[in-house]
C-alpha cells in the first residue's frame, strides 16, 4: 500500500490541530485581558470624581476660577458620555476579532484598547487634581485673609503705639500700610467671590510687600536711634572735644578735622532722608560709614592725647640721654689721647669720636627746638613722639659705637701683652731649631734653608724693635707676628726634611762601603753623592744618587732605611 499520501494527510491534520490550539489559547488570553481592562474601567467609574465636582460647585467660584471649574466639569462629562462608551465599543470589537483567525489584528486592537483606557485614566487624574487645586487654593486664600487681617491689625497697632521710634519715616510707613490694606481688601473681595486665579496674583505681591514692610518696621528703630540720638551726641562731643583740644594747645597733622566733623553731620542728614523715604538698606549702609568716620575722628584725638603724655614722659629721658652721650664722648676723647701716647690708632677713632660729638650736638639742637615748639604751642605731639623716638635710636647707635671704640682701646694693652708672649715664643722656637741643627754636626746647610732662617731672624729683630718702640702700631705688630709664625711653621717642616735627608744619606754611605771597592757603579755614585753632601750640602740629591745605585745591588734597601728613620 502506498504510504506517501497518508503521511501528507496526517501532517496536515497535525498542523491544523496546532493552529487551532494556538488560536484557542490566544482567544482565551485576549478575553481575560479585555476583562481585566473592563474591570479597571469600572474602578475608574466608581471613583468619587463626580462627588468632587459636586463639592467644587459649593465653592461659589467666579472669574477665571469658575471657568477652570467649568472646563474640568465639561472634560469629565466627555469622559462619561463619550470616552467610556467608546471604550465599551472597542472592547466588544476586540472580543469579536479574537474569535476569528486574524490573530495579528486582534493583538493590535487589544493594544489600542489598553492605550485608550490609559488616556481616559490620565484625563480623570487631571480632572481630580484640578478640582483639588481649586479647593486647596480656596482654603489657602481664606486662611490668608484671616492671617493678613491679623498681621495688618498688628502693624497698624505698632505704628500707632511706637510712632516715636520711626521718626520722619512714619508717614511713608503709614502710606505703605494703607496701600497694602487696599490690596488686601481687593484680595479679600476676590477670595469671597471665588475668583482665586485673580486673587493669587494679588496675594503673591501682598505676601512680598508685607514681609518687606515688617522687615523695615523692625530695622528702622535701630537706624533711627543712630541717626537721631547716637550720632548727634557723638558729633556734638567731637565738636566740643576739638574746640577744647585746640584751646589746650593741641595741633593735628590733619588740617581738615573741622571740615570732616561737619561732613559727618552732612552724611547724617543725607542718611535721615534715605530713612524717611524707606531706603532702609542704603540708610543702614550709610550708618556703617558714619560710624567708621566718627571712630576715625576719635582715634585722631586719642593719638594726640596719648602722644602728649608720652612726650611729657620721654622729654626728660631724652635730655638725660643727650647729656650721658656727650659725657661718654668726652671720656672717650680723653681715653683716646691717653692711649694715643702709647699706640698708633689706625681705625680713625679720633675722627669717629669727633663725628659722634657733631651728631650729639645736632640732636641736642633739634631737641631744644622741639622743646621751644612745645612751649610756644607749635607742637604736633604725634610727630614729636616720632622725633623723640628717632633721637633715642640715634643716641643708642652713637653710644654703641662709642662702646665699641672704648672696648677696642682697652684691648690694646692686652693685645700688646699677648703679642710680646707670642714674640718670645717665636724667638725661642727659632733658637731651639738652631741648637738642634748645630747638634747634628752637618758639613753645612742648603742655601734655601739658610735664607729662610735668616729671613725669620730679620723679621724677629724688626718685630722686637717695633715692640720696644714708644709708639706701637698694634696692627702692624700683628701683621709681622702672623708672618713670623707662618715662616716658623715652614722652617720646622724644612728642618724635619733636612734631618731626614741627611740621616738617610749617611745610612746609604755606610751601606755602600760594602760594595764600592768592588763595584764601579757604586763607587762612582758614592763619589758623586759625597760631593753633593760635603760640598753643596744637598743631602736630598746625595740620597737620590746613592740610593738609586744601591737598589741595583741590594733591592729594598731604601725602604728598609726609611722604616728605620720613621
pTM beyond cutoff 0.75: no
66: Cβ–Cβ under 8 A, 6 or more apart, which residues? Answer: 194, 195
Q: Which three cell numbers stand for residue 517?
A: 771597592
Distance CA 244, CA 88 (A): 103
Distance CA 146, CA 144 (A): 5
Nearest to 127 by CA among 60, 193, 179, 53: 53
Compute CA distances 512 → 378, 442, 501, 526, 537, whole Å: 106, 20, 16, 7, 19
What are the backbone dihedrals phi and psi of residue 82, each rounded to the nearest 5 degrees, phi first? -115, -55
* Residue 31, helix vs strand vs coil: helix
Query: Which pLDDT score is estimated for 395?
Result: 93
Contact predicate 73/65, CB 8 Å: no
Contact predicate 27/99, CB 8 Å: yes
Query: Which pLDDT score is estimated for 1?
Result: 43
Question: Chain-centre distance of CA 298, in angstroms?
Answer: 32
Q: Within the chain, which residues score under 50 in pLDDT?
A: 1, 15-22, 24-25, 56-58, 60-63, 101-102, 141, 145
Compute CA distances 549 → 500, 512, 561, whole Å: 19, 9, 15
Distance CA 440, CA 432 (A): 13
Query: Which pLDDT score is estimated for 21?
Result: 44
Query: Which pLDDT score is estimated for 346?
Result: 76
* Residue 23, helix vs strand vs coil: helix
Q: Which three cell numbers stand for residue 451?
A: 735664607
* Residue 343, helix vs strand vs coil: strand
Query: Which pLDDT score is estimated for 544?
Result: 92
What are the backbone dihedrals phi and psi of residue 254, each rounded to the nearest 5 degrees, phi first? -85, 110
Q: What is the DSSP string of 177-214?
A: HHHHHHHHHHHHHHHHHT-HHHHHHHHHHHHHHHHHHH
Compute CA distances 373 → 84, 249, 304, 367, 385, whole Å: 110, 11, 15, 10, 13
Question: Chain-centre distance of CA 95, in angstroms?
Answer: 81
pLDDT tens-digit readout, 344-360: 787 788 889 999 999 99
Amino acid at each position: 500500500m502506498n504510504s506517501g499520501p497518508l503521511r501528507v494527510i496526517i501532517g496536515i491534520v497535525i498542523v491544523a490541530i496546532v493552529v487551532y490550539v494556538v488560536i484557542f489559547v490566544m482567544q482565551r488570553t485576549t478575553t481575560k485581558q479585555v476583562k481585566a481592562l473592563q474591570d479597571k474601567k469600572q474602578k475608574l467609574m466608581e471613583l468619587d470624581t463626580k462627588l468632587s465636582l459636586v463639592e467644587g460647585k459649593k465653592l461659589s467660584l467666579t472669574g477665571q476660577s469658575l471657568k477652570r471649574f467649568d472646563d474640568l466639569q465639561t472634560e469629565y462629562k466627555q469622559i462619561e458620555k463619550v470616552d467610556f462608551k467608546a471604550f465599551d465599543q472597542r472592547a466588544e470589537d476586540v472580543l469579536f476579532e479574537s474569535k476569528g483567525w486574524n490573530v495579528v489584528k486582534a493583538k493590535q486592537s487589544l493594544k489600542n484598547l489598553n492605550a485608550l483606557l490609559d488616556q481616559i485614566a490620565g484625563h480623570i487624574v487631571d480632572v481630580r487634581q484640578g478640582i483639588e487645586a481649586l479647593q486647596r487654593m480656596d482654603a489657602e486664600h481664606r486662611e490668608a485673609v484671616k492671617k493678613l487681617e491679623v498681621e495688618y491689625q498688628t502693624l497698624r497697632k505698632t505704628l500707632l503705639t511706637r510712632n516715636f521710634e520711626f521718626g520722619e519715616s512714619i508717614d511713608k510707613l503709614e502710606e505703605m500700610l494703607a496701600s497694602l490694606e487696599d490690596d488686601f481688601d481687593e484680595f479679600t473681595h476676590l477670595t469671597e467671590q471665588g475668583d482665586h486665579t485673580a486673587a493669587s496674583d494679588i496675594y503673591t505681591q501682598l505676601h512680598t510687600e508685607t514681609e518687606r514692610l515688617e522687615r523695615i518696621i523692625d530695622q528702622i528703630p535701630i537706624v533711627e536711634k543712630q541717626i537721631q540720638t547716637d550720632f548727634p551726641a557723638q558729633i556734638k562731643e567731637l565738636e566740643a572735644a576739638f574746640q577744647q583740644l585746640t584751646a589746650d594747645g593741641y595741633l593735628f597733622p590733619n588740617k581738615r578735622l573741622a571740615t570732616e566733623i561737619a561732613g559727618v553731620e552732612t552724611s547724617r542728614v543725607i542718611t535721615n532722608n534715605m530713612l524717611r523715604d524707606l531706603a532702609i538698606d542704603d540708610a543702614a549702609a550709610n550708618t556703617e560709614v558714619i560710624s567708621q568716620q566718627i571712630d576715625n575722628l576719635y582715634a585722631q584725638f586719642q593719638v594726640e592725647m596719648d602722644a602728649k603724655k608720652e612726650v611729657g614722659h620721654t622729654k626728660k629721658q631724652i635730655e638725660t640721654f643727650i647729656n650721658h652721650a656727650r659725657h661718654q664722648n668726652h671720656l672717650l676723647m680723653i681715653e683716646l689721647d691717653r692711649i694715643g701716647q702709647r699706640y698708633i690708632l689706625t681705625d680713625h677713632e679720633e675722627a669717629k669720636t669727633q663725628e659722634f660729638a657733631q651728631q650729639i650736638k645736632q640732636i641736642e639742637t633739634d631737641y631744644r627746638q622741639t622743646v621751644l615748639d612745645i612751649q610756644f604751642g607749635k607742637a604736633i605731639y604725634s610727630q614729636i613722639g616720632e622725633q623723640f623716638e628717632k633721637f633715642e635710636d640715634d643716641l643708642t647707635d652713637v653710644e654703641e659705637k662709642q662702646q665699641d671704640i672704648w672696648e677696642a682701646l682697652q684691648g690694646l694693652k692686652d693685645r700688646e701683652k699677648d703679642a710680646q708672649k707670642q714674640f718670645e715664643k717665636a724667638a725661642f722656637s727659632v733658637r731651639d731649631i738652631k741648637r738642634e741643627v748645630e747638634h747634628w754636626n752637618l758639613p753645612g746647610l742648603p742655601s734655601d734653608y739658610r735664607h729662610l732662617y735668616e729671613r725669620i731672624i730679620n723679621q724677629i729683630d724688626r718685630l722686637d724693635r717695633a715692640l720696644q718702640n714708644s709708639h706701637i702700631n698694634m696692627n702692624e705688630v700683628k701683621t709681622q707676628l702672623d708672618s713670623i709664625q707662618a715662616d716658623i711653621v715652614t722652617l720646622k717642616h724644612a728642618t724635619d726634611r733636612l734631618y731626614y735627608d741627611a740621616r738617610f744619606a749617611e745610612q746609604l754611605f755606610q751601606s755602600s762601603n760594602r760594595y764600592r771597592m768592588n763595584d764601579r757603579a757604586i763607587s762612582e755614585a758614592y763619589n758623586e753623592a759625597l760631593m753633593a753632601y760635603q760640598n753643596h750640602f744637598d743631602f736630598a740629591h746625595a740620597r737620590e744618587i746613592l740610593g738609586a745605585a744601591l737598589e741595583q745591588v741590594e733591592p729594598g734597601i731604601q725602604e728598609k732605611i726609611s722604616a728605620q728613620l720613621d
